[in-house]
Structure 1
Amino acid sequence: MDFLELVNKRQSTRKYDSSRNVEPEKISRIIEAARLAPSACNSQPWHFIVVNEPELKNKVADAASARLLGMNHFTKQAPVHIVVVEEKVNLSSSIGGIIKNKEFALLDLGIAAAHITLAAESEGLGSCILGWFNETKIKKLLNIPDSKRVILDIIIGYPAETTRNKKRKTTNEILSYNTYK
């Protein structure tokens, strides 16, 4: 499929076929897409942890759900979690971030996350980017040092339902040329 078809098809999947595991070669290609993502000053401020061992994956899923708020209860259905850890940026990116008052590492991690989800879609897999989770629990489960930040948990698996129609603002609502209006 062409790129716009891929982007149109990609959605946040919240129902997974829990009877199907994701093939290791597909995960390898997805991680390769993330590894190749661009970053400010080529700092590559990321570390990815693929969690696919069923018992550990379920514990990570528990850390991503909130019983009181009813959030993310679908995460146990997905057979793979890719936990995205923020690493230090290089000196150029750090200085540039200070001068320009921008969190380049977070922007870079967002780009890598987009690569992950689009690569998953191209492999026939669904994905959902989670920012709501118990970071302390995930760090403990995955032996992530206290000095690191867990930024995202991206779940991946075979979707259990078909693509929904996207509800998006019109192009006229989000675009202007040469001036803000």
Structure 2
Amino acid sequence: MDFLEFVSTRQSDRAFDPDRPVEKEKIERILEAARLAPSACNAQPWHMVVVDDPELKNRVADATSARALGMNHFTKQAPVHILLVEERVNLTSGIGGWVKQKDYAQMDLGIVAAHVVLAAHAEGLGSCIVGWFNEPKMRELLSIPDSKRVWLDIVVGYSTQAVRPKKRKTNGEIISYNKYK
């Protein structure tokens, strides 16, 4: 399929087959696609923690859930969690970010997250980027130093959801040429 068709069928899945594990080879290919993601000044300011141990995965999923808000209970169904941890940028990215007042590490983490979910889709897997979680609990569960930020938890598994039509703004609402409108 062409790329536009490919991205139109990729979605944030919130229902997974909990009894179907993800093959290691597929996870390895997803991680390789993430490793190859571009970053400002080639800083690669990320570390990925793959959680596929069922007991630990359930505890990580519990750290994403908010009972009072009814959020993220689907994360327990996903057999794999890939957590993105921010690492230090290199000198040139750090200086450039300071000069331009931009957080290049956060941009880079967004790019690597996109690579993960697109690679998962290419492997026939569903995924969802989760940003709502108990960060101190995640650090504790996964032995991540307190000095590190855990930015995202990407859940991956075999989706049980049908492809939904995308609800997006029109081109006219989000695109202009040659000047901001």
Within 5 Å, which residues of 2 pair with 1:23-172? 23-172=23-172
RMSD: 0.6
- 1:4 Cα deviation (Å)? 1.2
Shift in Å at residue 145 of structure 1? 0.6
For 2:137 and 2:6, the matched residues in 1 are separated by 34
1:3 offset after TM fit, Å? 1.3
In percent, how many aligned pairs have the same letter? 69
Give the Cα separation in 2 of the matches to 1:29 and 1:4. 22
Partner of 1:21: 21
- The AA in structure 2 aligned to 1:129 is I
* Partners of 1:148 and 1:104 in 2: CA distance: 16
Classify the secondary structure of the residue corresponding to 1:58: helix
For residues 6 and 52 of structure 1, what CA distance do their matches in structure 2 show?
A: 27
CA contact (8 A) 2:45 2:87 kept: yes
Contact 2:14 2:161 in 1 (8 A): no
3-state SS in 2 of match to 1:154: strand
Cα distance, 1:161 vs structure 2: 1.7
Structure 2, unmatched stretches of 5+, are: none
Amino acid at match of 2:50: V
Q: Which amino acid aligns with 1:148?
A: K
Flag structure 1 segments of 5+ consecutive residues without an equivalent: none
Q: Aligned pairs, how many? A: 181
Task: Write the distance in 1 (CA, Å) between the matches of 2:16 and 2:115.
Answer: 20
TM-score (norm 1): 0.99
Residue identity opposite 1:122 in structure 2: A
Report SS of the residue matched to 2:19: coil
Deviation at 1:2, TM superposition (A): 1.8
CA displacement at 1:109 relative to structure 2: 0.3
- C-alpha offsets along residues 118-156 of structure 1, whole Å, 9 cap, x if unaligned? 000010100000110000001000000111110000000
Distance 2:131 2:73 in 1: 14
Aligned AA (2:55): E
1:61, distance to aligned residue in structure 2 (A): 0.1
**One-letter code aligned to 1:131:** G
Q: What is the rounded CA distance, in whole Å, between the counterparts of 2:49 and 2:7 in structure 1?
A: 25
